[in-house]
Amino acid sequence: MDALEGLPWREHDTTHGIRIRPIEIIDFDSETEITLNGWDFGGQRVYRPTHQLFFSAHAVYLVVWKPREGPQAGFVREWISLVKHREPDAQILVVATHGGPGQRQPDIDRQGLLDLFGEETIRGFFHVESKPSENGQRRGIEKLKEAIASIVGGFRKDERKIPKHWCKLQEILKETGKPWLYLDEIYTLCRKHGMDDDKVHTFLSRTHHSGHLIYYEYDSQFKNMVVLKPDWLATAMSFVLDDEEIRRARGLARFSRLGELWNDPMRPEEERYDPALHPLFLRLMGRFDLSYRVAESALDPSTSLGDRSPSEVEGPLVKHSVHHGVPDDDPTSLIAQLVPDIRPEELLRAAWPPEPAAGDLEQIQVCRIVDDRGQSATAEGIFYQLIVRLHKFSLGRADSHQGIHWQRGLVLDDGYNGRAYLAHIGNDIRITVRASYPTYFLGLLIGEVKWLVENFWEGLKCEVTVPCLAPSGGSKPCPGLFAVEDLVENKKRGYPEYRCPFCKEWQDIDALLSNAPPVRALTTESPLDTLMAEFADMKRALVITHERMRGGFAQLDTNDKQLLNRIDGAQNELLQALTDEARDGPRLFSLEPVARSRLNPKGWAREKFRLTLWCEHSRLPLPVLYGDENKGVYRIELERKWFRKAAPFLKVLNGTLRLGLPVAAAGLELTLDEATYEAMEGQLDSGQEIIQASLKSKGGDNQIGDWLGDDAPERERGRASRSPISAHGSILREFHALLRKQDPACKFGGLVRVRNKRNEFLWVHPRFEEEY
């Protein structure tokens, strides 16, 4: 970097994290000077997962290696793969340096790299000397800068140029000399220079996405802070990842220990961080999937899982994270990259016996991670991210010492939805779920892995496969895998069997697909309808199940678990179908007529309704969560015309809430006495009565066409892959407009808008904001 910047030669210590420095080059077409941000990434393996966070497409990447150490020691191929998997269109220059007089000349398989990655990716090989010769020359540096300029010149002009006021903003912020500023400070500075707030907001949003600064406008804790120097933040994270004390503690770190690392008096002033920032750093590490806060209890951490009773191992049926016994001023976090690398055999045997429990089924699927050529590929750091992203299912969610995770394995538990074992085998993720009805939990985990792979690593794909059922001799099963898409396609074509690519045995497609959760769109003839019909005479059974759940997981029988599992599936389908509409307002609500006794469901034109908002995390109404019957409740006047159009959507929404009510209450360990339950059920039943009447007034037609609003484009009609509910999102948008008339300040009963790990919006009660 010194040579590119034209600075004198000097020895450097190992790079901690990232350093950003300006690099000046000449665009030979226009003969103008261009300033580039040069990002110097530390080469240590532990930094690779975090380095990926800062890769962007419109950049020139230099993969640097030392001839005296060889390309293998320099991990040349691995670094190229790391960049290309994250940014498929990246352009890379391979640079040999630090050879020195009399040292080895560059010896690298250039053709092999070109064949593997392509000439559109590998744009050239260079040999440079960063240390000047006796006459002051640095061999190869000018040619390297010319190559960089040539690639930059090939970027489209609209990608290279930025608005003039953005340049001015960058200069204003740079002149402060500060690594971060409060948002109000930035707006104040810009107003002094005649810039309006809208332009400043656009600038911050765009430069955040391009990696030039960090600004989380939708995060309640970060929206008032802007990090102007991402390398400043990356260095702080590197101090944690380099800490041997945390590694010896199996990745567990007290907040006080992090504070010592971030404000070490032995470090230079520029590498020390104000203690007031430490809580924000910890929150950012969670944002980057590097850590999460764990719960602790008074249990002796030396006590093994095998020494405890089954009820202690399984724990209570709690579906939300807690932090029992953790001092608020010194909480503990798990740094996922620093968990042990050895599988904890004793703990694993206790939590995952050789065979499923009586009444449980076992399903297995393998997420095969491949590149654009269909070859197995590495998603660097994926398992660390999964440990963080899936921590709400951790066995240690009530006591961190109960958690079972290592660098290539993880055991999860979702109460009545079952227990899962994730194993990182080679480049693939093998997921095994045991439950009375494992389909839901397996589908959820497969969806999480697939989303992460294909959204974080744009150059990779996740193929969902199922294992071969044939024995391969001995105790090991056949390692053959079948792509679920291929099995489904062959089934459609009428082929009953498919040949294993490994053992060559023909396998029954139906038997193989028994490992594959069904994929279906939620419609008015959906599993929700089946559930409602199947359990129409079992209202009391739901309440009984609710009471059983208070006694813990072991109190539920197989039928209970299957019922609750399917209800969870219906609720998740509903929220997933309405992801786009969540930005502007809440998605869960119930309606009941104010004048229930006198309203004729079949003969009304305009009527007042009691609208109750629900929390999308707990799936409970706000009056229950607040203990206030008026909190989150509005009186709203609706026309019958709108209600009839919305009736199919309202039917699914109301029915889903109705089924899930006792489940959600038990998951939060809330006490719902019979009177409270009956009152809430009565409100939902009242709404359902008028919904059903509205559907019948339309001829009782529950076809998909009814779901599509009049403004839906013709091209959307009849598409099997599109959920009718998502197509009917216009109804929810109209509802949001009606709600804002009643609540112009958009307080929404105190609901807080948060983003989950998939960057999807949810509206949750304030007590659950910390979960996100």
Residue 506 backbone phi and psi in degrees, to 5 = -85, 130
pLDDT, tens only, 77-114: 888 998 988 888 889 999 988 655 555 556 788 899 99
For residue 400 the two structure tokens come to: 């961190």
CA distances from 472 to 49, 364, 479, 723 (A): 36, 17, 8, 41
The whole-angstrom separation of Cα 60 and Cα 81 is: 15
| Positions in the chain short of pLDDT 70 | 12-16, 28-29, 57, 73-74, 98-106, 156-162, 209-211, 219-221, 296-328, 472-475, 516-560, 562-563, 662-674, 677, 696-729
The whole-angstrom separation of Cα 524 and Cα 725 is: 9
Out of 228, 248, 272, pick the residue that ends a domain. 228
For residue 41 the two structure tokens come to: 């990434």
Phi-psi region of 31 (alpha: psi -120 to 50; beta: other; left: phi over 0): left
Per-residue burial over 107-142, b = 16 or more CB atoms within 10 Å of its CB, e = otherwise? ebeeeebeebbeeebbbbebbbbbbeeeeeebbbbe
Out of 174, 202, 228, pick the residue that ends a domain. 228
Question: Mean pLDDT across the chain, nearest whole number?
Answer: 78
Q: Which residues contact 63 (CB under 8 A, 6 or more apart)?
A: 76, 79, 80, 83, 92, 93, 94, 95
Q: Tell me the CATH number at 419.
A: 3.30.310.200
Going 456 to 460 to 465 to 471, the CA torsion angle's sign is negative
Q: Kindly state whether residues 484 and 459 are assigned to the same domain.
A: yes
Q: Kindly state whether residues 66 and 84 are assigned to the same domain.
A: yes
Q: Kindly state whether residues 666 and 692 are assigned to the same domain.
A: yes
Q: Is 494 helix (H, G, I), strand (E, B) or coil?
A: coil
Going 97 to 102 to 108 to 114, the CA torsion angle's sign is positive
Per-residue burial over 493-505, b = 16 or more CB atoms within 10 Å of its CB, e = otherwise? eeeeebebeebee
Looking at the chain, how many residues does it have? 772
C-beta separation of 531 from 570 below 8 A: yes
Q: Kindly state whether residues 505 and 615 are assigned to the same domain.
A: no
Out of 462, 480, 513, pick the residue that ends a domain. 513
Q: Which domain holds residue 95?
A: 2-160
DSSP codes of every residue in 626-691: HT-TTTTEEEEEEEHHHHHHHHHHHHHHHHHHHHHHHHHHHHTT----HHHHHHHHHHHHHHHHHH
Q: Comparing C-alpha atoms, which of 110, 66, 113, 118 is closest to residue 91?
A: 118
Q: Kindly state whether residues 83 and 173 are assigned to the same domain.
A: no
> What is the rounded end-to-end Cα distance, in angstroms, of the chain?
38
What's the pLDDT at 465? Answer: 93
Domain-located, residue 639: yes
Domain-located, residue 702: yes
Q: Comparing C-alpha atoms, which of 652, 715, 724 is closest to residue 687?
A: 652
C-beta separation of 381 from 49 below 8 A: yes
For residue 163 the two structure tokens come to: 């608005």
Q: Kindly state whether residues 134 and 183 are assigned to the same domain.
A: no
The whole-angstrom separation of Cα 504 and Cα 480 is: 9
Per-residue burial over 597-607, b = 16 or more CB atoms within 10 Å of its CB, e = otherwise? eebeeeebeeb
What's the pLDDT at 20? Answer: 79
Q: Please, which residues bridge with residue 302 across strands?
A: none
Largest CA distance in the chain: 99
Counting the structural domains of the chain, the total is: 4
Residue 661 backbone phi and psi in degrees, to 5 = -55, -55
- Give 489: exposed, middle or buried? Use CB within 10 Å, 0-12, 13-18, 19+: exposed
Q: Is 334 helix (H, G, I), strand (E, B) or coil?
A: strand
Using only the alpha carbons of the chain, give its radius of gyration: 29
C-beta separation of 113 from 81 below 8 A: no
Return the amino acid letter for 92. I
Going 263 to 264 to 267 to 269, the CA torsion angle's sign is positive
Q: Kindly state whether residues 482 and 621 are assigned to the same domain.
A: no
The owner of tokens 């009056």 is 623
Domain-located, residue 369: yes
Q: Kindly state whether residues 594 and 714 are assigned to the same domain.
A: yes
Residue 753 backbone phi and psi in degrees, to 5 = -85, 125
Q: Comparing C-alpha atoms, which of 573, 616, 567 is closest to residue 417?
A: 567
Q: How many CB atoms lie within 10 A of CB 384?
A: 22
Q: Kindly state whether residues 756 and 711 are assigned to the same domain.
A: yes
- pTM for the predicted model, two decimal places: 0.76
Q: Please, which residues bridge with residue 477 across strands?
A: 471
Domain-located, residue 125: yes
For residue 674 the two structure tokens come to: 């019979």
Q: Comparing C-alpha atoms, which of 127, 187, 199 is closest to residue 163?
A: 199
DSSP letter, residue 316: -
Q: Kindly state whether residues 490 and 596 are assigned to the same domain.
A: no
For residue 481 the two structure tokens come to: 């895998």
What's the pLDDT at 470? Answer: 80
What's the pLDDT at 215? Answer: 84
What's the pLDDT at 385? Answer: 93
CA distances from 739 to 586, 732, 733, 735 (A): 10, 10, 10, 6
Domain-located, residue 305: no
| Cα 452 to the center of its chain, rounded Å | 6
Element spanning 228, H or E? none
Q: Please, which residues bridge with residue 411 across strands?
A: 421
What's the pLDDT at 464? Answer: 93
Q: Kindly state whether residues 549 and 609 are assigned to the same domain.
A: yes
Q: Give ∠ CA 333-337-339 in degrees, rounded to 5.
A: 70
Helix axes 558-577, 640-667, angle to 10 degrees: 140
Q: Kindly state whether residues 593 and 647 are assigned to the same domain.
A: yes
Per-residue burial over 563-578, b = 16 or more CB atoms within 10 Å of its CB, e = otherwise? bbbbbbbbbbbbbebb
Q: Tell me the CATH number at 188.
A: 1.10.10.10
| Cα 132 to the center of its chain, rounded Å | 47
What's the pLDDT at 40? Answer: 85
The whole-angstrom separation of Cα 81 and Cα 741 is: 52
CA dihedral 452, 458, 463, 464 (to 10 degrees): 20
The whole-angstrom separation of Cα 317 and Cα 303 is: 22
Give the 3-state DSSP-derived string for 363-377, with helices as H, strands as E and coil as C. Answer: EEEEEEEECCCCCEC
Domain-located, residue 320: no
Domain-located, residue 281: no
Domain-located, residue 84: yes
Going 706 to 712 to 715 to 719, the CA torsion angle's sign is negative
The whole-angstrom separation of Cα 462 and Cα 307 is: 39
